[in-house]
Amino acid sequence: MEVIVYIFAKTVSFFLFAVTICMFGRAIRSWFSGDETSIDRFLFTMTEPFVMPFRKMLERSELAASSPIDIAFFMAMMVVYLAFSFLNIIVNIIV
């Protein structure tokens, strides 16, 4: 049972790490203007399911609407990174 939990946790951890990298890439890519590329579409497809709940939660907030920073994206990135870190702590405790 311990091995199954370990493999599951490592798989989810790898997925969260990949999403974190995609979110970082999307944030960096947003600084550069230009035509939308297939990389932009891929990064949007990979990251938007994590960002959308925060956008919906903040859509009525005037702070989020008037801020030059995408607060929903920042919050989603922090939650994904915290979940990744927490999962790695759990994996290290199991091993």
pLDDT in tens, 6-55: 888 889 999 999 999 999 999 999 888 778 889 999 999 999 999 999 99
CA-wise closest residue to 16 among 70, 93, 94, 89: 89
Residue 92, pLDDT score:
85
Report pTM. Answer: 0.82
Rounded-to-integer distance, Cα 7 and Cα 22, Å: 23
Backbone angles phi, psi at 35, to 5 degrees: -70, 150
CA-wise closest residue to 93 among 14, 6, 4: 6
pLDDT in tens, 48-87: 999 999 999 888 887 777 778 888 999 999 999 999 999 8
Residue 95, pLDDT above cutoff 80: no
CA-wise closest residue to 17 among 81, 89, 94: 81
CA-wise closest residue to 15 among 67, 52, 66, 50: 50
